Amino acid sequence: MMSDIRTYEQPREAGFGDYVQLLKPRVMSLVVFTALVGLLVAPVSVHPVVAMASILFIALGAGASGALNMWWDADIDAVMRRTAKRPVPAGKVEAGEALGLGMALSGISIVMLALASNWLAAGLLTFTIFFYAVIYSMWLKRSTPQNIVIGGAAGAFPPMIGWVAATGSISLEAVLMFALIFMWTPPHFWALALFMKEDYSNAGVPMLTVTHGLRATRKHIWVYTVLLAPVAVGAAFTRIGGPTYLAASLVLNGWFLWGAWRIWHRDDIVAETDNYVVEKLVFRFSLYYLFLHFGALLAEAALRPYGLGGW
């Protein structure tokens, strides 16, 4: 007797960790850090509970925009090696669930931030989520090689929101913290795109490396790093800066400029032969660059009560 065996592939039920992955926890950790610095360097004292709640809801808003991004980009995430294991393309979570989670957390984070701090901070968070999910993910990412340049604004808002949550207004210092991340984003992502070129090409994402080639991208990295340096160093001469920040910023920008210069003057064939060792080094360094700049701002704020921070 022949047995008729049929197998049904049941969708794998998602665990809690899969939903956490939708919120891009690594990006969230950077958001928490920069927003916390924005809030702590502000020249007003904030109640610890209000501060903690504000940071949590800013991070939750960033996570919500990450989930919305994963819902919209599921098709290209599946093609790219770097993103293929994300919960939606990996089949762990349905795209609709990512959309639902993103929308729900967006609403919760905005309303709660308004109640915890103020409506200006909540308004900026709303704009950030909209900018990342709609302007960047739905529009710019697939239509222009300048996607990273303009889209970088979404990642630049958290320290400004932290500052506004504390002070209730936007000032030069908040704008400079925004500008620091905004100008840092292009060289950071283009360094990544140099050694991940095929990923973007396969997915049809018009990164600069795909549309204008590696030579043009190398030049762009150099130009943006040159433009970044005065913004980063300039923050040293405001209320949030000081000698510690200035020294750190000079060293970090010197190193970043040196790395960008090397990237610009490298031959594509040599880079491919040594497996993009310089590009990978500069990419990793750029993460430390941002972390240490905000760390130095925090150090200035921490030293100020002892008469050591600031000018």
Using CB under 8 A, list all residues that contact other proteins. 13-17, 19-20, 47, 49-50, 52-53, 56, 115-116
Least CB distance to other proteins at residue 306 (A): 27
- Of the pair 31, 93, the CB lying nearest other proteins is at 93
- How far apart CA 154 and CA 125 sit, in angstroms, is 9
**Of 97, 269, 276, the residue nearest 190 (C-alpha):** 276
Least CB distance to other proteins at residue 59 (A): 13
Least CB distance to other proteins at residue 67 (A): 15
Query: b or e along 256-291 (b: 16 or more beta carbons within 10 Å of the residue's beta carbon)?
Result: beebbeebbebeeeebeeeebebbeebbebbeebbe
- Of the pair 32, 208, the CB lying nearest other proteins is at 32
Least CB distance to other proteins at residue 19 (A): 8
**Of 238, 239, 209, the residue nearest 221 (C-alpha):** 209
- Of the pair 14, 303, the CB lying nearest other proteins is at 14
- Of the pair 101, 297, the CB lying nearest other proteins is at 101
- Of the pair 20, 84, the CB lying nearest other proteins is at 20
Q: At 128, which helix (H) or strand (E)?
A: helix 119-130
- How far apart CA 112 and CA 198 sit, in angstroms, is 41
- How far apart CA 130 and CA 187 sit, in angstroms, is 24
Least CB distance to other proteins at residue 13 (A): 6
